Amino acid sequence: MESVEVANRGKRRNSGKKKGKMASKRPRLNEYKVKIDKKMKKVFEKRARDYNSDDEDEDEDEAEFTEPKRKEEEEYEVEFSDNDEEEQEEEDGFKRGEVSEDEDGGIQPGITKFADGIKAFRLAFKKIVKKSGDDDDVLGPVLSAHKKLIAEKLGEEEAEKKVKGEVKKEKNLIREKGHVKPVNYLDAHEKFLLGIATKGVVKLFNAVNKAQTAQRGLNPSRSRDEKVIKKRRKEAFFSELGRTSSQSAKTVVKVGTSGGSVDDDAPGWAPLRDNYMLTNPKLKDWDKMQDKNDEDDFGRQPQTDSSSDED
Amino acid sequence: MIQKKRTPFVRQFTKKQPTVDHVTGDKIPKSFVFCRGKLPGTLRQLETDLRKLMLPFTALKLKEKKRNNLKDFLNVAGPMGVTHFLILSKTPTAPYLRVARTPQGPTLTFKIQEYSLATEIAQSQVRPRSPKDLFKNPPLIVLSGFGTGEQHLKLTTIMFQNIFPAIDVNTVKLSSCQRIVLLNYNKDTKLIDFRHYSIRLQPIGVSRRIRKFVQNHQVPDLRNLQDVSDFVTKVGYGSESEVDDEAATVSLPTDLGRVNRASNKSAVKLQEIGPRMTLQLTKIEEGLCSGGVIFSEYVNNDKSKNQKTHDEEDNNEEEEEEEEEEED
């Protein structure tokens, strides 16, 4: 014996009690059960009986535990399903003394037992369902006794919704004011506008056509032809202008074109012209000291020391 | 040692927009389109539509915050060379569009009577077309009905003509003119119609079948025909769109794509894209949303009332310094 003890001392912990893995995973429960032993077992068995039975009075001799709660039971028609005793035990063990039901009226404050709580709740619920089943009310089973109040509340809510709906509609109207969805794409007015726009485009294209075909034969870099080009350009442009303005008194189609301010002897590319930056008053004094306000942001020009190109 | 072949380091250049036009030497006008105040969803859509319209010389993704004032926009506008502001706002009566020239230029206030969004117009059409490079070039502008000679109309004309860059007739490429903005003034109702179209050229003188065949590259169905010549010479019934006015035909100087050849007649076809608005000119001010009132639609005592309500709205949105309205 001694030798066995000595031999096992250093090496094994649970030499005396050898349990499997599963047992070691649930140590507490086992301990609990083991500790409970006979007294508690009795209590639990009684409880299970109470829970499953429909009898009125039960004797309980658990002075050590919570106070028993007695309720008068009137009608029992349905039994709760039977649970296994083991589950019962566990449930009771865990929830014992923690539940206090408020759903049945006139409860004694304090901790009540779970089984009693269930009974009481069952009672109360049955009462309610019975009551509301008799009525023709649409409201259905109502837990509160003040049914009128609730009806009023619902009526109020509906009225509120209606008002809100109207307000929303008004807001939406204001928001979308002016927004028109085009129902029919081509009506008379649209066609008329399309015609005007087409006329404008056609005029522009014709003018371009004239100007560019006339120019095609001439090479703009040769100075001899340059003057011819400029003359033709000016003539064509002014003639087009004259035509458009006198065409109809009512509708004057103005197309945004430039030109007309191009002098003779001016090459095609703007920086090559002599008056490139001179005509524009803002770009003109680019090398002079600036004493302009901060407002005039466009007038900000870099100050340089180079000589100006002006005369 | 093996020399590693080094590719030369090329810095990515972001394309800078030119401030000055190469050909004309004038400044290219640029614009900002933004909203003042809280706007409902449809008006914000209108704002994006207007931005697309003003492309390429506008800030497409302009970010504005609630606390931005007009001064902030002005400060940014200077260095960037922005010349015009298009401002959308809303009062309980109607949405308003203000067109202003920076930094001190006049402000035109338009009341938007009606508007439709670009998406809705596309939905209402049978065949909406949207070519890829549509917004690469600035649009043309056509103003019609403004020629009565009144001062405010003249000012409107000049303002709108300056918003879009000018075109030099001699050097412009027709392929770059793909959009057109139309402003039509109706004398009786004093309303301005604002429309935005895309331009398309179609060769005429060619039968419909052949044209479709060349354009779509779809092999036609020759089952029932004896000979190819039948396909080419078949007399088809004329549909409504084929009746082209002589007025709509142009003769092109150069080739435009495979189909439209030079010195052959082509028809100009417009299709509406973009927002559609009906505007009423209500006010012209001397300054940028401030200054003396040059013209006002409501000339009688009602004017002060209308101005006041609109100004109160503005005061909530903008700084008080900006609002120095004269009150009669």
Q: What is the DSSP string of A73-87?
A: ------PPPP--HHH
The helix/strand/coil state of B109 is strand
Distance from CA of A190 to the nearest CA of B (A): 9
- Enumerate the residues of chain A whose CB falls inside 8 A of the CB of residue B74: 297
Range with the poorest average pLDDT among A78-87, B69-78, B157-166: A78-87
Higher pLDDT, B173 or A101: B173
Q: What is the mean pLDDT of chain B?
A: 74
- A306 or B179, higher pLDDT: B179
- Residue B197 reports pLDDT greater than 70: yes
Nearest residue on chain A to B158, alpha-carbon basis: A256
Most confident of A172-186, A291-305, B53-67: B53-67
Q: Which residue has the higher pLDDT, B200 or A91?
A: B200
What's residue B62's pLDDT? 80
Q: Does B177 sit within 8 Å of A182, measured CB to CB?
A: no
Which residue in the block uniquely carries the two structure tokens 């509906």? Answer: A158
**Dihedral sign from CA coordinates of B145, B151, B156, B158:** positive
Which pTM value belongs to this model?
Answer: 0.56
Within 13 Å and on the Cβ side, how many CA atoms surround A233? 27
Q: How does B33-50 read in b/e, with b if 16+ C-beta sit within 10 Å?
A: bbbbbebbebbebbbebb
Rounded to two decimals, the ipTM of the complex is 0.75
B244 touches chain A (CB under 8 A): no
In our burial notation (b when 16+ CB lie closer than 10 A, e otherwise), range B66-103 reads eeeebeebbeebbeebbbbbbbbbbbeebbbbbbbbbb
Q: Are strands B191-203 and B84-90 parallel, antiparallel or unpaired?
A: unpaired
**Amino acid at site B78:** G
Contact call for A237 and B169, based on CB within 8 A = yes
Assess whether pLDDT exceeds 80 at residue B301. no
More confident residue, B163 or A55: B163
pLDDT score of A19 more than 50: yes
**Residue linked to tokens 């499953």:** A52
Report helix, strand or coil for B36: coil
Are B252 and A205 in contact (CB < 8 Å)?
yes
Contact B124, A232 (CB under 8 A): no
Candidates A255, A279, A295, A296: best to mutate against B (most CBs of B within 10 A) is A255
At A272, is the pLDDT very low, low, confident or very high (cuts 50, 70, 90)?
Answer: low
The Cα A111–Cα A62 span in angstroms is 14
Poorest-pLDDT segment among B44-48, B75-79, B147-151: B147-151
**Among partner residues A177, A182, A202, which is closest to B94 by beta-carbon distance?**
A177
| Cβ atoms < 10 Å from Cβ of A6 | 9
Q: Which of A182, A213, A259 sits opposite B276 (nearest CB)?
A: A182
Contact in structure between B50 and B112 (CB atoms under 8 Å): no
Distance CA B162, CA B83 (A): 9
Distance CA A43, CA A47 (A): 6
Average pLDDT over residues A206-212: 79
pLDDT digits (tens, 9 = 90+) for A158-193: 999 999 999 998 888 877 777 777 766 678 888 888
Cβ <8 Å between A200 and B180: yes
| Three-state DSSP state, A177 | coil
State pLDDT tens for residues A218-232.
655 566 666 666 676
- CA dist B266 and B287 (Å) reads 46
Output DSSP code: residue B256: B
Of A198, A215, A256, the CB nearest to B141: A256
Lookup result for tokens 């094994």 = A12
* Element spanning A157, H or E: helix A147-175
Return the pLDDT at A100. 45
Sorting pLDDT into bands at 50, 70 and 90, what band is A244?
Answer: very low
B55 or A134: which carries more pLDDT confidence?
B55
Q: Is B186 on the interface with A (CB under 8 A)?
A: no
Check CB contact under 8 Å for B253 and A296.
no
Residue A145, pLDDT score: 58
Please tell me the distance in Å from A228's CA to the nearest CA on chain B.
Answer: 14
Tokens representing A262 are 């191009």
Q: Which residues contact A302 (CB under 8 A, 6 or more apart)?
A: A286
Closest CA to B122 of B13, B274, B246: B274
Residue A215 near residue B262 (C-beta atoms within 8 A):
no
Q: How much is the pLDDT for A143? A: 56
The pLDDT of residue A287 is above 50: yes
Please state, in angstroms and as integers, the Cα–Cα distance from residue A173 to each residue in B39, B42, B294, following that order.
14, 12, 33
Q: Residue A136 pLDDT more than 70? A: no
Instruction: Report CA dihedral (A210, A205, B140, A247) to the nearest 10 degrees.
Output: 80
In angstroms and rounded to an integer, the radius of gyration of the C-alpha atoms of chain B is: 25
**B228-283 confidence digits (pLDDT tens):** 777 777 655 544 444 555 556 666 655 555 555 555 677 788 888 888 889 998 88
Min CA distance, A291 vs chain B (Å)? 17
pLDDT tens column, B159-181: 888 888 877 777 777 778 888 89
Distances (CA, A) of B91 to A217, B48, B314: 59, 20, 9
Average pLDDT over residues A290-299: 40
Q: What's the confidence (pLDDT) of residue A10? A: 57
